[in-house]
Amino acid sequence: MKKRLVLFLLLLTGMVSAQQDAQFTQYMYNTININPAYAGSREAMSIFALHRTQWVGLDGAPVTNTASVNTPINGSNIGLGFSVVNDRIGPSDENNISADFSYTINASERYKLSFGLKASANLLNIDFTKLNIYDKNDYSFDTNVDNKFSPNIGIGLYLHSDNTYVGLSVPNLLETQHFDRYAGTGANSHVAKEHIHYYFIAGHVFDLSAEVKLKPSILTKMVQGAPLQVDLSANFLINEKFTAGLAYRWDAAFSALAGFQVSDSWFIGYAYDMETTKLANYNSGSHEIFLRYELFNAYDKIISPRFF
């Protein structure tokens, strides 16, 4: 009963304030989802898949799956990307499909600057029959939402060198009111309204020795109606094979991260989040696992793996 009450409060909060984008602890490997300018920046075709189970043990807690591919276009300054994100929480099931375009110029001898555009389509489903509705006369939950379509566009900037990156992006420029809860009664409230999200990312790789590298990084997300979200992380790369690190989501969670470079092409990673809020009383943490495959041309195959 307590778990269902917590979920109801979470859903209610999402309905009357901002609807947050899906969040990822391993954002440093999943940059294409929030910044279209990242497309092609790894100088190889990069195929990525991630599964996140949040707040394990809490009924109706978020479950997120995402897959993406991005690649540079040989002989040009253009990068292209495509991604799909499925985010499920309680009675809602949301799919976001995006296409990304980037154009890169040389900002200096060391740095490249990429400009990005994102075009996306959002499909929202809400099945209110999955909720325990105590007031049978509450017409708010009479009609389900079936594949409500909302288009959007986004932009991004990404400045990067071999060991440093900084990015600014707004993946969705249009504020979307997915549907009118009382479409037939003249009311003007909306159950799901998505506000503009502003992202800032940055990171730098330090060579501590010939075998060990350290990469601190930061992600900040700002959206109307929600607290500023700040993710801080520090990852070590050991012998170009193993990664291990810690992360902190401000006033929300501590995380442990690990990864293994199986080969030049294959990389697998895992993260565990431990809540620091009162939600810790109702769940056993969050799990995130991803797999990345990169396809290199014979002439541009890297000697050592890129750390971002």
Task: Please give the pLDDT value at position 90.
Answer: 84
Beta pairing class for 266-275 and 253-261: antiparallel
Task: Please give the pLDDT value at position 92.
Answer: 85
Helix segments in the chain, DSSP class H: 2-16
Domain locations along the chain: 2-295
Which residue ranges in the chain fall short of pLDDT 70? 1-20, 129-146, 177-193, 297-306
Q: DSSP secondary-structure letter at 195?
A: P
Task: Please give the pLDDT value at position 17.
Answer: 40
Task: Please give the pLDDT value at position 139.
Answer: 54
Task: Please give the pLDDT value at position 225.
Answer: 77
CA distance 70 to 92: 28
pTM: 0.85
Task: Please give the pLDDT value at position 256.
Answer: 98
Q: Does domain 2-295 have CATH number 3.30.1330.90?
A: no
> H-helix or E-strand containing 63?
strand 63-72
Query: What's the pLDDT tens digit per position in 72-109?
Result: 998 899 999 999 999 998 888 899 999 999 999 999 99
